[in-house]
Amino acid sequence: MDCESVGGDEAEATLNVVGTEYRLTLTSPDGVRIRSVLSRLANASPGGDFEFRADSDRAGMPDATAAVEPYGLYFCDCGGSGSDDLGRLVAALVTDFTGVLVETLE
């Protein structure tokens, strides 16, 4: 799971960052509890990650994506309502976990 897309032709493929990436570190991360919070806010994608979409259209790039990681969550704001989704996600996580640290990845 990442916040990149591949552009260019096959011979000269380039990676372009298409969003802002975040690490959400949780105290006592528990994958089952994290997935429970995510399932209330986002749709599970075929790969097991989660997609946030402002509308129900499943085509095209989502507004944001999230993946459960050993430290908590990886979140990518892909544009659209992604920053609002991050705010709602953090608010929901704070009710289930003692602490949530949000860091921007560069």
**Is the CB of residue 64 less than 8 Å from the CB of residue 52?**
yes
pLDDT at 15: 44
Architecture in CATH of 18-105: 2-Layer Sandwich (3.30)
SS3 at position 100: strand
Looking at residue 19, its pLDDT comes to 87
H-helix or E-strand spanning residue 24? strand 20-26
Listed as ranges, residues in the chain with pLDDT below 70 are: 1-17, 56-57
| CA atoms of 35 and 89, how far apart (whole Å) | 11
pTM for the predicted model, two decimal places: 0.81
pLDDT at residue number 2:
58
* Residue ranges covered by each domain of the chain: 18-105
Query: Would you put residue 55 in left (φ > 0), alpha (ψ -120 to 50) or beta?
Result: beta
Return the pLDDT at 9. 46
Question: What is the pLDDT, as a whole number, of residue 60?
Answer: 82
